[in-house]
Amino acid sequence: MIVGSKPLNLPLYRLAITPAGLREESSSGTHISNERLEFLGDAILGAVIADQLYIKYPYRNEGFLTETRAKLVNREVLHGVGLKIGLKNLFSEQLSGRNFTQSKSLYGDMLEALIGAIYLDRGYGFTKKYIIERLLVHLDVNEAVNTTINYKSKAIEWAQKEGKSVEFKLLGVQGTQRLKEFRVALLIAGEEIAQGTGSNKKKAEQNACEKACDILNIDT
């Protein structure tokens, strides 16, 4: 069993491996998909990883913890974990020969939905143990810490592919000469997407782009 224990509510797990692209409907005509479970699982996974990072790095600041968590739960990483724990085999059974266009993050999204199903089925304590013992073993925390994501490059590359202009606008500088905080807005096609802060303009731009990547669902 992927979960490590017999499910108490099997329909929840069937729903977890039912992406919106399958276009299934209930007897009442309601659209069925794992999107709500995915939303819930994303929150639970983020909370557990935040807890583990808080314990593992007692002297690191909020920015470090936030960035490391983001690296560990990004779509590409979770997609790989989903493949490693066997979600592809489960989904192949679910497909039963039907046509389906697979997204790049299919098994990552499905993994989050599975976590949501486990939480509803067995509670937070069981789910936390499952994440720590069965999922975190597939995540290289040290690699995440040592890898820097260039969010600015990701945002600019995305905008260029969409044929949209990118502009950074300095909104202000606060603090003393030694301790300054820069605030920058990222505008894409003239529309403000996100604001960021940092100890210099470059860091503020990176912070704004990190938020924009999340808002625009840009793969990082």
Query: Taking residues 154-161, what's their average pLDDT?
Result: 89
Statement: residue 142 has pLDDT above 90: no
Is 130 within 8 Å of 116 (Cβ atoms)? no
The model's pTM: 0.68
Neighbours of 62 (CB within 10 A): 8
Alpha carbons 1 and 116: distance in angstroms, whole number: 17
Distance CA 166, CA 191 (A): 9
pLDDT tens sequence across 163-201: 999 999 999 998 777 778 899 999 999 999 999 988 888
Q: What is the CATH number of domain 10-146?
A: 1.10.1520.10
By annotation, the residues acting in catalysis are 42, 112
Phi-psi bin for 63: left (phi > 0), alpha (psi -120 to 50), beta? alpha
**C-alpha distances out from residue 113 to 105, 120, 127, 140, 216, Å:** 12, 11, 12, 22, 21
Average pLDDT over residues 139-163: 83
Task: Count CB atoms within 10 A of the CB of residue 74.
Answer: 18
Percentage of residues of the chain with pLDDT beyond 70: 90
Domain ranges of the chain: 10-146, 151-215
76-123: pLDDT as tens digits: 889 999 999 998 888 877 666 666 667 778 899 999 999 999 999 999
Block residue for tokens 């929150």: 43
**Cα four-point dihedral sign 144, 198, 75, 40:** positive
User: What is residue 144's predicted lDDT score, i.e. its pLDDT?
Assistant: 76
Distance from C-alpha of 84 to C-alpha of 95, rounded to nearest angstrom: 19
Q: Which of the two residues, 183 and 21, has the higher pLDDT score?
A: 183
Query: In this structure, which CATH number among 1.10.357.10, 3.90.1300.10, 3.10.28.10, 3.30.160.20 belongs to the domain 151-215?
Result: 3.30.160.20
Six token digits for residue 144 = 């995440």
pLDDT in tens, 33-80: 899 999 999 999 999 999 999 999 998 888 788 888 888 888 888 999
Is pLDDT of 26 > 60?
no
The type of residue at 84 is K
